Structure 1
Amino acid sequence: MQTLTRSSSQTRRNRGFAAFLWLATAGVALPGAYLVATLPAAALSEIKQEDLPAPTTPAPDKAAPAEGTAPQAQDSQKAPSEAPDPDEGVPEQATPGSVHVTEDPNAPLPEIIYDVSKLPEPVQRVRQQLLDVAAAGDIEKLRALIGTGDDATQLSVAGLDEDPIAFLKEQSGDKNGEEVLAIMENLLNAGYVHLDPGTPEEIYAWPYFFAMPLDRLSARQRVELFKIVTAGDYEDMKSYGVYNFYRLGITPQGKWAFFVAGE
């Protein structure tokens, strides 16, 4: 039955098209609706092919030199204005709290340390002071540890001109700074890394993730990461390839160097 229906429909369509040709030959004006109804249906492949623009010959990358003119200099021969910058290739000075991940995929991973007894005494002391403030739930008590002037703790990657405690409260979801204190406590209870030993940039930093490429974290390490960030945060970080949430650093001399988030 289905085959017969299709054949009858095709027969009527052919007859209609024949009538259209006869009327058109006779000079009879026809409405557009009649034209659409009587034209035979085109195959999908034909429609696509007709919609495609005519092929064109791509223009050459460089125009051929006119006859009798000298060819242009090779790209390797730079003009004097294109001389290499003498400062090119010199690495920028790292700022406290900046993401500390090597770009070499074959570089050895930093040692992850959980034993706080291995920390120098000044670092242990400041770490415990920060934990005590978090346990008390009073962010105002951080003021004495932040300091002032050039020696103040870095709280923002872009720099900070406002009151540091007011800034931390603004960053906190509860606006009282309690969420920030909870984050700080979680960081200081995570594993840490000892970076750049023996240099002016030597630092003890929490958590260890910001010194690790995300694609080299083990399953167990990702579980530890999810104690600090959500799975959604982790997916966003993967587009950058590095951990860019809060991290905290203390110098060997016991200076609270940074507590920042972002790149």
Structure 2
Amino acid sequence: MTALPLTAQPADRILKTLRTYRRDAVLTVELHVPERGNAVTDAMLDDLLTVLDGQDPAVQVLVLTAAGADFCLGGDRGEYDGSLAEDPTGGGIRASAAKARRVCDALVANPAVTIARVHGKAIGAGLALALACDLRVGADTATFRLPELALGLPTAWGGLLPRLISEAGAARVRELILTGRAFTAYEAESLSILQKAVPEGALDEAVTAWAKPVLRRPAAALRVTKTLLNSLSAGTRLADAAALDPELMAAVAAELYRGRRP
């Protein structure tokens, strides 16, 4: 990833899985567990909630990026299996899924314009985090995948499914979920999962090109416009069953775990 000329941003609570940087009204939040492919854990969800809930109102642009070779390889399977071993009824999965929904909702409702800066692989929960952002740019070498069905799980994390259908269309999303195949940045762009695919070396330039005009907009008008866009987008969904994501994930995971036990 190209180094960003930003100032490290202190946090009230020590962040275990993130790095934050601030430059004027731009806050950069970097997923920072590169040795694990920035896999989403409960600790990462807690860190994201700490940053988003405590965000300075003066921030007008939030950039979500990641350290290392990949944006995010999805949920941490080791933590997932450990949670089921501890509570075979899926209670831990339910709590984690509820937290994931809070994180994605906080990104969607963020008063700042949120920009996902994607490189490498964005899988499952990683794709969900990017999709919760207003604007999404990806390296032309980035790849995406929704592997949940192959893992025996529903596509029910962070409100991903209704958001994905709203952006990309039901027919194409159905094919991506049922096959679980990887797809390229250019296909993601054609589906509006990305608004732009660029060479990896041009990612920062693309983010800056979006951020500059946003920073010139009056803050109050920006907040109201975001609220209107979110409301109108939600209004196009005949039903949003994402509120059931934690229950669906817990129920299916518990059944799968019972089937694996001797």
TM-score by length of 1: 0.21
Larger Rg: 1
Between Structure 1 and Structure 2, which shows a larger proportion of helix residues?
A: 2
Between Structure 1 and Structure 2, which shows a larger proportion of strand residues?
A: 2
